[in-house]
Amino acid sequence: MKYRVPKREFEFVLREVLEVEQLTQFPIFEEATWEMVQMIIDQVAEIAEDIWFPGNQLGDQVGAKFKDGEVTLPPEFHDAINAIRDTGLVTLFAHPEYGGMGFPTAFEVLGDEVMCATNMALATMTGLTKGAYRCIHQYGSDELKSLYLPKMVSGEWFSTMCLTEAHCGTDLGLLRTKAKPDDEGSYRLDGEKIFITGGEHDLTENILHLTLARLPGAPQGVKGISLFLVPKFIPNADGALGERNGIRALSIEEKMGCKGSPTCVIALEDARGWLIGEENRGLRAMFAMMNHERLAVGMEGVGVAEIAYQNGLAYALDRLQGRDLGGGRYPEQEADPLIVHPDIRRMLLRAKSLIEGMRCLAVWTGISIDHSLADPDEAIREENGELVEILTPIVKALCTDLGCEITNDMLQIYGGHGYIREHGMEQFVRDLRIAPIWEGTNGIQALDLAGRKLPRDMGRLLRRFFHPALEFVEQHRDDPDLKEFVEPFAKGLRGLQKTSMFLAQKGMGNPREIGAGATDYLRQFGLVALGYMWLQMLKVAFAKRGSDEFYEYKLITGRYFFERVFPETIARAVAIASGAKTMMAMPDAGFAGDHRFSGN
């Protein structure tokens, strides 16, 4: 196994295509100069390649160990966390008043890609802490922020997100964990949570659990949920650790992948917690964390796909097998390398074109977040915030679904050697398989896009994407270089507009039409969004063509995307247009066919 941070690709997307240096015009980002960014990328690359990655396979083989309510992780995981603590990398994206450097989200998404590529199990825990930081910063009281945020920024304390219970996952309105006020200005929580990533470990001295619970007399359903900060150890006013709280791990799950990340069953027994935000408005506060996590999970798909691609490519270049169908490419050797075969090249080019498009889409989303926070023009802030709303479910679902497909294809290049543990490819497949499931399954992301974002305010959110895309088409329709790409993109964009209108109209009369078409709609929308990113990249590549082979390779990759990948938008549109009738026609009993289940 090998991995190198794709620094040249990062520079191309950040600096040449999306012109991220424009963010330095905003006072809060003025220190994020390209020279500073390069230095940080070099530092991240050294830690990721030399410290995080070597412990990845060991984390899978040894895993998290549970005994008497305590969880221990391999020493290499401690070394990895200490490396980012010692270099100050954990402080990059936090606010300066709490010890951070206040760097833009645009850089954070690429940092997430690198860490997920080299050690996804470990990256899940650091990622949750960043999300919790944002939630507390936005909704916590001044007392909570001053007590907890500096320790989170320094990497001394990690955080979790405690939502799921045994009887409720997506349907949080069913949760049963209870909270009641005490006489000390805090609350007492009782209940049990499952699937809690990093719920117990020995990487940090304290763990902060952001926990959803229901107060006495709260309304039923999601309108009666509150959010609480429940620390493993209750800190004193000076930040020193105090007494052990009534929250503990009962067990850890035996999982398919990400075995170095402990997934815990958590019990709360008269545990003290502090309210975050308003009573019965917990989901609103939690989504400040969830939306960040969904972007980070999308980068799990990009990161693992990238490392799988790098190793699939290396194997295809090295492994001798068969002869080129057009005649022996290397007659002096007993066989040609795998890369001469069209089907191997199909898998590699599909992976390359999708990874580069997804990376660009994620960085564009990050830049939009930064504009939504920092631009002095309120209208621009609002427009970018709405664009982020539409892009977030796409980045989460598209990048994780495609990441799984790419990783499986890269294993396929290895043949039988990919299926055995020796080469490490099967770990990538197992680790990444959770990404389409957690932080809201991809089916839920599709319903969010098609059922909530599409119809809101007569399609206003969609216009945040359609308007710049249509403007690009009009500006470059007759460009002699881009014309061959703009024409199919324009057709795909019109097809997406028609599908959006179809779902909006059908959904008003029959909500099942939305449910039946949602997943296909998200994929269609996602591929059109990747097409828009590829137009941006191709525009730069044509302008700099001849100065570096790098740009010629971009043109070849972009042409492959539009000729061999983008046409999938047509198939998705046809599937959506078939409607819900056939999907819903089968009686529940009909799915069993000749098989009969008792239901017990």
Q: What is the DSSP string of 328-387?
A: -S-TTSSS-BGGGSHHHHHHHHHHHHHHHHHHHHHHHHHHHHHHHHH-S-HHHHHHHHHH
Residues identified as active-site: 439
Question: Do 96 and 185 sit in the same domain of this protein?
Answer: no
| pLDDT above 60: residue 403 | yes
**Other CB atoms within 10 A of residue 210 CB:** 24
Q: Name the residue with tokens 């989170």.
A: 152
On whether the CB atoms of residues 374 and 29 are closer than 8 A, the answer is yes
State which of 254, 280, 306 marks the end of a domain: 280
Residue 252 dihedral angles phi and psi, to the nearest 5°: -125, 155
pLDDT digits (tens, 9 = 90+) for 203-239: 999 999 999 999 999 999 999 999 999 999 999 999 9
Instruction: Give the C-alpha distances (Å, rounded to integers) separating 479 from 482, 540, 567.
Output: 5, 13, 22
Residue 243 lies in a domain: yes
Which range (57-61, 165-169, 478-482) has the least confidence?
165-169
Question: Do 567 and 458 sit in the same domain of this protein?
Answer: yes
Q: Give the separation between CA 10 and CA 16, rounded to whole angstroms.
A: 10
Residue 286 lies in a domain: no
Question: Do 50 and 93 sit in the same domain of this protein?
Answer: yes
Question: Do 15 and 114 sit in the same domain of this protein?
Answer: yes
pLDDT digits (tens, 9 = 90+) for 123-176: 999 999 999 999 999 999 999 999 999 999 999 999 999 999 998 877 888 899
Reading the block at residue 374, the tokens are 């920092």
Residue 152 lies in a domain: no
Q: Which domain holds residue 495?
A: 451-584
Query: Which of the four pLDDT bands, split at 50, 70 and 90, describes residue 288?
Result: confident
3-state secondary structure of 381: helix
CATH number at 270 reads: 2.40.110.20
| pLDDT (mean) for 193-202 | 97
Percent above pLDDT 70 for the chain: 99
Question: Do 11 and 113 sit in the same domain of this protein?
Answer: yes
Question: Do 124 and 213 sit in the same domain of this protein?
Answer: no
Residue 358 lies in a domain: no
Query: Which of the four pLDDT bands, split at 50, 70 and 90, describes residue 292?
Result: confident
* Nearest alpha carbon to residue 523 among 485, 570, 455: 570
Question: Do 118 and 199 sit in the same domain of this protein?
Answer: no
Question: Do 579 and 470 sit in the same domain of this protein?
Answer: yes
| pLDDT above 80: residue 502 | yes
Residue 386 lies in a domain: no
Residue 354: its pLDDT value, please?
98
* Nearest alpha carbon to residue 193 among 251, 234, 135: 251
Question: Do 67 and 124 sit in the same domain of this protein?
Answer: yes
* Nearest alpha carbon to residue 446 among 506, 514, 510: 514
Reading the block at residue 526, the tokens are 């996602």
- Residues 6 or more apart whose Cβ sits within 8 Å of residue 417: 315, 423, 425
Question: Do 191 and 102 sit in the same domain of this protein?
Answer: no
- Residues 6 or more apart whose Cβ sits within 8 Å of residue 345: 339
Question: Do 546 and 463 sit in the same domain of this protein?
Answer: yes
Domain count, the chain: 3
Q: Within a 13 Å sphere around the CA of 171, how many CA atoms are in the beta-carbon half?
A: 6
The 3-class secondary structure across 457-502, one letter per residue, is HHHHHHHHHHHHHHHHHHHHCCCCCCHHHHHHHHHHHHHHHHHHHH
